[in-house]
Structure 1
Amino acid sequence: MTTQLAPRPTVAPPPAYTFPTPRTRVLGNGLTVEHFPSRNRLITLTLVTPAGTLAEPAGSEGIATVAASLRDEGTAHHTGEQFAAALDRIGASYETRVTDGATLATLQVPVAGLAPALGLLAETVMRATYPEDEFERVRAIVTDRANSARLNPGMRAHQVLHAACFRPEDRAGLPESGTATSLKGLTRDDVAAFDRANLLPERATLLVGGDVTPSALDDLLGEAFADWRGRDRRAVTARTADPASPRVIVVDRPGSVQTEIRLGLVGPGPSDPRYPALRVATHVLGGSMNSRLSAVLREEKGYTYGVHGWLRGLPGRGQFMIATPVDTPSTGPAIADLVSIIETMRADGITDAECSGAIDELLLGAPLELQTAAAVVNQRATHLAQGLPSNWFNEHRAALKHISAADASAVFAELVAPAALCGAFVGDAEKIMPELEAVFGGSAITVEPF
Structure 2
Amino acid sequence: MTVTVPTDPAHRTAEEIGRTAAGPRPLPPLGPTREVPLPDVLDVTLANGLRVLVARNPRVPMAELRLRVPFGPDAVATGLAETDDAAVSRHLAAAELLTATLLTGTSSRDRVGIDDELAGVGADLGVGVDPERLQIGGSGLAVGLPTILDVLADVLTDAQHPDAEVLRERERLVERITVARAQPRTIAREALQRKRFGNHPVAREMPTGPDVAAVEPADVRALQAAGLVPGGAILTLVGDLDPHDAVALIEQYLGGWTAPHPARRLTAPPPVAASNLELVSRAGSVQSQLRLSAPALPRLDDRYAALQLANLVFGGYFSSRWMENIREDKGYTYGAHSGTEFVPGGAVLSVETDVASDVTAAALLETRYELGRMTAVPPTADEIDAARRYAVGSLLISLDSQGGFGSTLATLAADDVPVQWLRDHPARLEAVTVEEVGAASREFFAPSAFTGVIVGDAEVVGPGLRALGGVDLP
Same fold (TM over 0.5): yes
SS in 2 for 1:197: helix
SS of equivalent to 1:68:
helix
2:68 equivalent to 1:48: yes
For residues 147-187 of structure 1, the C-alpha deviation after alignment (integer angstroms, 9 at most, x for no partner) is 332211123222222221111x212222x232224434434
| Pair 1:165-2:162 in alignment | no
Give % identity: 26
Query: Which of 116, 136, 139 pairs up with 2:167?
Result: 136
* Contact 2:62–2:141 (Cα < 8 Å) also in 1: yes
In the TM superposition, what whole-angstrom CA distance separates every residue of 1:260-316 from its partner, at most 9, and x where no partner exists? Answer: 221112433333333322221111100111100111101111111111111111121
Counterpart amino acid of residue 209 in structure 1: V
Alpha-carbon distance in structure 2 between the residues aligned to 1:235 and 1:50: 6
Q: How many pairs does the alignment contain?
A: 443
Q: Does 1:286 align with 2:323?
A: no
Say whether 1:33 aligns with 2:52.
yes
Residue 386 (structure 1) aligned to one of 415, 418, 421: 415
1:186 paired with 2:215, answer: yes
Partner of residue 348 from structure 1, selected from 373, 377, 393: 377
Query: For residue 313 of structure 1, what is the aligned residue in structure 2?
Result: 342
Question: What is the root-mean-square deviation of aligned Cα atoms in Å?
Answer: 2.9
8 Å CA contact 1:278, 1:412 repeated in 2: yes
1:80 aligns with 2:111: yes
**Residues 277 and 32 (structure 1), Cα distance of their counterparts in 2 relative to 1, 3 Å cut:** same
* Matched AA of 1:146: I
Structure 2 vs 1, CA of residues 70 and 2 (structure 1 numbering), >3 Å: closer, same or farther? closer
Give the secondary structure class of the aligned counterpart of 2:419.
coil
Q: CA deviation at 1:27?
A: 3.1
TM, length-normalised to structure 1: 0.89
Displacement of 1:425 in angstroms is 1.9
- Conserved 8 A contact 2:132-2:266: no
- 1:29-71 C-alpha deviation (Å, 9 max, x unpaired): 3322211101221211111212257977542332433323332
| Structure 1 letter corresponding to 2:56 | P
Where in structure 2 are there 5+ consecutive unaligned residues?
1-7, 18-24
Report the AA paired with residue 31 of structure 1: L
Pick from 431, 436, 444 the counterpart of residue 465 of structure 2: 436
Q: 1:237 to 1:172 in 2, by over 3 A?
A: closer
Which range is displaced more, 251-260 or 336-345? 251-260
1:401-440 superposed matches below 5 A: 401-440=430-469
Larger radius of gyration: 2
Alignment partners' CA distance in 1, 2:324 and 2:338: 13
Q: CA–CA distance in 2 between the matches of 1:181 and 1:387?
A: 36
- Correspondence 1:119-158 to 2 at 5 A: 119-158=150-189
Asked if residue 201 in structure 1 is aligned to residue 230 in structure 2, the reply is yes
Work out whether residues 101 and 385 of structure 1, in 8 Å CA contact, stay in contact via their aligned partners in 2: no
Amino acid at match of 1:398: A
CA contact (8 A) 1:54 1:101 kept: no
Query: Judging changes above 3 Å, is the alpha-carbon distance between structure 1 residues 403 and 332 closer, same or farther for their aligned structure 2 residues?
Result: same
Which stretch of the first structure deviates more once superposed, 206-215 or 176-185?
A: 176-185
SS in structure 1 at match of 2:372 = helix
The alpha-carbon deviation at position 440 of structure 1 amounts to 3.3
1:375 CA displacement: 1.2
SS of the residue aligned with 2:117? helix
Q: State how far apart, in whole Å, the 1-side matches of 2:176 and 2:386 are.
A: 39
Cα pair distance change 1:216/1:415, threshold 3 Å: closer
Q: Hey, what's the Cα distance between the residues in 2 that align with 1:140 and 1:344?
A: 50
Residue range with higher mean Cα deviation, 265-274 or 293-302: 265-274
- Match of 2:366? 337
Q: Could you say what secondary structure the match of 1:43 adopts?
A: strand
Query: Closer, same or farther in 2 for the Cα pair 1:434/1:163, shift >3 Å?
Result: same
Residue 115, structure 1, aligned to residue 146, structure 2: yes
Instruction: Within 5 Å, give how 1:207-286 maps onto structure 2.
Output: 207-233=236-262, 236-238=265-267, 240-244=269-273, 246-286=275-315
Tell me if the contact between 1:286 and 1:307 (Cα under 8 Å) persists in the aligned partners.
Answer: yes
User: Given that residues 160 and 424 in structure 1 are in contact (C-alpha distance below 8 angstroms), is that contact kept between their aligned partners in structure 2?
Assistant: yes
Equivalents in 2 of 1:390, 1:55: separation in Å?
A: 29
Going from structure 1 to structure 2, the CA distance change for 1:269 and 1:149 (only over 3 Å counts) comes to: farther
Structure 2 counterpart of 1:82, one-letter code? G
CA distance in 1, matches of 2:223, 2:450: 36
Which is further off, 271-280 or 202-211? Answer: 271-280
Contact 1:94 1:106 in 2 (8 A): yes
Q: Is the 8 A contact 1:277 1:400 kept in 2?
A: yes
**Correspondence for 1:377:** 406
Cα distance, 1:367–1:325 mapped onto 2, change above 3 Å: same
Query: For structure 1, which segment, 356-365 or 387-396, has the greater mean C-alpha deviation from structure 2 after superposition?
Result: 387-396
Do the aligned partners of residues 389 and 408 (structure 1) sit closer, same or farther apart at CA in structure 2, a change above 3 Å counting?
Answer: same
Look up the equivalent residue of 2:158 and give its one-letter code: R
8 Å contact from structure 1 (residues 55, 237) kept in 2: no
Residues 132, 17 of structure 1: alpha-carbon distance in 2 compared, 3 angstrom cutoff: same
Shift of 1:222: 3.5
Tell whether the 8 Å contact from 2:337 to 2:353 is kept in structure 1 after alignment: yes
Q: Distance in 2 between matches of 1:161 and 1:186?
A: 27
Quick one: structure 1 residues 421 and 37, their matched pair in 2 at CA, closer, same or farther if it must change by over 3 Å? same
Contact 1:46 1:377 (C-alpha < 8 Å) held by counterparts: yes
428-437 or 11-20, which moves further after superposition? 11-20
User: Which has the higher mean CA deviation after the structures are superposed, 27-36 or 123-132?
Assistant: 27-36
For residues 213-251 of structure 1, the C-alpha deviation after alignment (integer angstroms, 9 at most, x for no partner) is 235424432331232222435754437334355243323
Q: Does 1:15 align with 2:34?
A: yes
Structure 2 CA distance for partners of 1:55 and 1:343, relative to 1, 3 Å: farther
Question: Unpaired runs of 5+ in structure 1?
Answer: none
Decide whether the 8 Å contact of 2:63 with 2:145 is kept in 1: yes
